[in-house]
Amino acid sequence: MRQIVKSSKLNDVCYDIRGPVLTEAKRLEDEGHRVLKLNIGNPAPFGFEAPDDILKDVIHNLPTAQGYGDAQGIYSARVAVMQYYQQQGISNIDIDDVYIGNGVSELIVMAMQALLDTGDEVLIPSPDYPLWTAAVSLSSGTPVHYQCDEAAGWFPDIDDIKARITSNTRAIVLINPNNPTGAVYSRELLLEVIELARKHNLVIFSDEIYDKILYDEARHQCIAALADDVFFVTLSGLSKNYRVAGFRVGWMLISGNKKLGRSYMQGLTLLSSMRMCANVPCQHALQTALGGYQSINDLVRADGRLRLQRDIAWRMLDQIPGISCVKPKGAMYCFARVDAKKFSIEDDELMILDLLRQEKVLLVHGSAFNLKQGCYFRLVFLPHTDQLQSALGKVERFFANYQQR
């Protein structure tokens, strides 16, 4: 009988955060080992409870949310998103500019599917959140990675971006605050990106899912509030700021020079309709979430749980001989550099597998984030401090003796 072979569309599509290393972690668990998974930014399993009001709202609306909703999202959710961005200074938007999705993930794929034809190029940061690269490839586009500069706090290298723009470049992606590096971009940097978009007619996709997870003096600037003559797509959701990743609620706002994107928006509306609608009960959480008191602030202030965990994770990592880490200003990850020479490392995925097998701690290798040079790993600092300290002790013990070759 003929083999059932996966589509060639998937040949260049990778998503290694949940790839072979996770398969090995599951195998170890099946053997009876307890593995500490610091590979995914999923707050709830680490005891980060969602705000009560959100849960109550979903429960309250459950009986009347049994049918399909509007393909772009229920009215109250779209109004809430529109008002949220109006408060951030984006003018000239209405509820038809808002698309609600089953998480930002679905919207990233939809946004690329609606835009790209074969040969179209999209500028994506390196390192990146790899779904962006995967979505571009899946949509028959070509991901072109621009460098973020570790020595400059992982800010995008504007000259590198400029050098990679061609007549086929359609869009640029920013992830701010950044996953995996934790960088939070300055207004000046964002204005430079806008200038490039203006000059080369690029769409700016800004993934701002961590926009409230900020440490120290970091302030988040929504790029779409800085200009009205460029076409912006801003994405965010409830998974991180409101700790309900399992609810699968995200949104996308079109703003700026919307006249340029009428056809594109028709495409987005078509794709939204084809999947009927996003999860209706959980869309009810959105208005409650975005309005009023923001409990995430308690977690990131000087004595907040996330902030303390960030401090411990960063300090302990940075002290390990052969490891260094730029202090994250936002999000929930430390992205650490490993001295590949010192540990004779040629394969960063093998390094993560060796750590997993020896210490039963699961991290993600830097190349999974489309970073081609250097040796890095990403660690999620969501566990409570005692668990985090124990995990970092294991990472230290592993590197104390590690030689890959």
Residues that bind ligand PLP (CB under 6 A): 41, 103-105, 129, 175, 179, 207, 209, 237, 239, 245, 250
Nearer to ligand PLP, 326 or 331 (CB): 331
Strand partners for 155: 149
Closest residue to ligand PLP, Cβ-based?
Answer: 103
Strand order in the sheet with 142-149: 98-101, 250-256, 231-237, 203-207, 169-175, 121-126, 142-149, 155-156
Q: Output 170 or 378, the one with its CB closest to ligand PLP.
A: 378
Please, what is the minimum distance in Å from the beta carbon of residue 144 to ligand PLP? 18
CB of 368 within 8 A of CB of 376? Answer: no
Compare residues 213 and 351 and give the one whose CB is closer to ligand PLP. Answer: 213
Residue type, 219: R
CB of 110: closest distance to ligand PLP in angstroms?
12
Q: How far are the Cα atoms of 55, 87, 284, 362 from residue 288, in angstroms, in the given order?
A: 10, 16, 8, 35
Quick one: angle between helices 262-274 and 103-115, nearest 10? 130
Closest separation in Å from C-beta 250 to ligand PLP:
4
Convert 355-375 to b/e letters by CB count within 10 Å (16 or more is b): bbeebbbbbbbbbbbbbeeeb
- Closer residue to ligand PLP in complex, CB, 289/320: 289
- C-beta of 277 vs 345, nearer to ligand PLP: 277
Shortest approach of ligand PLP to residue 107 CB, angstroms? 8
Beta carbons of 113 and 266 less than 8 angstroms apart: no
Nearer to ligand PLP, 147 or 398 (CB): 147
Judged by beta carbon, residue 41 or residue 383, the one nearer ligand PLP is 41
- Cβ proximity to ligand PLP: between 190 and 320 the closer is 190
- In terms of CB distance, is 220 or 258 closer to ligand PLP? 220
Nearest 5°: the CA angle 182, 153, 19 is 45
Q: Provide, rounded to whole angstroms, the least separation between the CB of residue 52 and ligand PLP.
A: 21
Backbone angles phi, psi at 119, to 5 degrees: 95, -15
Query: Which CB, 175 or 355, lies closer to ligand PLP?
Result: 175
Residue 90 or 104 having the CB closest to ligand PLP: 104
5: which 2 tokens?
Answer: 């072979």
The nearest distance, CB 118 to ligand PLP, in angstroms, is 25
Tokens in use for 152? 């400059």
Report, in Å, the least distance between residue 239 CB and ligand PLP: 3
Q: Cβ 2 to ligand PLP, closest distance in Å?
A: 35
